[in-house]
Amino acid sequence: MKVNHNDESIKETSSIIERIEKNYLRKITSRFRKYMGRYRYIISTALIILYAIVSLYSNTIAQYYSYSIVLAGLFVVGIPHGAVDHLLIANKKNVLVAFILKYLLIILAYFILWLSYPMVALVIFIAYSAFHFGESELEELGIKNTSVKIYGKAFLMGLSILMFIICMHFNESIQLLSKISGLDSLLSLKEISPYQLYIIPSLAFLYILFQAVFQKHYSLLAVLMLLIIGIFVPLLLSFALYFICQHSYNAWKHVQKQLDIPHFALYKKTIPYTIGALFIFLIILVFVNINSSYLQLMSTNFFIFLACISLPHFLLMHVFYKSGFQH
């Protein structure tokens, strides 16, 4: 039997090329991660300074500038960091189909809750968002969720971050939430004295500062920096600073390291699910507050959209962290 040396040579050359491409891609993505890890806070600060400069000349241009930053951040890191959820399960077609169906059912059930009992849905959103943010921060610090005490610490950390952002933009937050059908009663909270209102963010800031300095979790100082510069910009941009530059970036890094897939290769796998998330947003845009003005419609529906798609993501990431993610 003759051996086709040409075929073997072609296969060997192809294999060598694939290894070279894979190693080259890993080097590029490794450098990209180091670059972003070192400079994301500097870039964030520069973007906020530029926003302040633009707002001196035109509030309208500044508003569109902030929207462009938020949308760019969401497409690059924010939504993709949740679009890798399917990769955390067994890679079998039947399992994947069942996973997608369960994922969509959770989104649908929570969406119905927003329509039926918006106040209950809001409380649930704040609760699981606080725990999710805190759990991610503790994972970044190398603290495992192994006890009820650590669960409480995760919740308190995330709640501190969330309450600082909300309370330092209190009127904006109330204005946004009160536009959601069934939450107009929140407008009465505007009567709270500013002095009373600052108690909550002050306590939140001191708690994070205590964890950073006295517990020697110095990386939390970067979180405090994002929260502080977020005071000087609108609510949406302030939240995006933390959500994109801190939370989404860290969660993406955790998943990427566990899966051992280069960043760009992993990003390509998120594209279909990112498109799916945008499709869900369009559905919510049609069914909620359809008679509202355009800007109000976009802001309130975008909030509900984020809440709905983040619930199944939170549940899956909690299982991922609890199952023994290794730094």
Neighbouring CB atoms inside 10 A of 156's CB total: 17
Domain boundaries, the chain: 5-322
C-alpha distance from residue 206 to each of 39, 193, 212, 220, 254 (Å): 26, 21, 10, 12, 27
Contact of 110 with 307, CB cutoff 8 Å: yes
Q: Closest Cα partner for 85 from 204, 293, 255?
A: 255
pLDDT in 10s for each residue of the chain, 327 residues = 454 555 555 555 555 555 555 554 455 444 445 545 568 888 888 888 898 898 888 888 888 888 888 878 877 788 787 777 777 775 555 577 888 888 889 999 999 999 899 999 999 999 999 999 999 999 998 888 778 889 999 999 999 999 999 999 999 899 888 888 888 888 888 878 777 788 999 999 999 999 999 888 888 999 999 999 999 998 888 998 898 889 988 888 888 888 787 877 887 888 777 787 777 767 766 665 544 444 555 667 778 888 888 899 998 888 888 876 555
CA distance linking residue 323 with residue 164, whole number of Å: 30
Number of H helices, E strands in the chain: 13, 0
What region, left, alpha or beta, does residue 264 occupy, with left being phi > 0 and alpha being psi -120 to 50 degrees? alpha
Distance (Å, rounded) from C-alpha 100 to C-alpha 97?
5
| Paired tokens of 43 | 């870039």
Look-up: residue for tokens 């503790």? 138
The whole-angstrom separation of Cα 259 and Cα 320 is 11
| Rounded alpha-carbon distances, angstroms, from residue 64 to 44, 241, 306 | 17, 16, 20
Predicted confidence at residue 164, as pLDDT, reads: 96
The answer to whether residues 129 and 159 touch, using CB atoms and an 8 Å cutoff, is no
Q: Pseudo-torsion of CA 180, 185, 187, 190, nearest 10°?
A: -140
Candidates 27, 10, 41, 32; CA nearest to 227 is 41
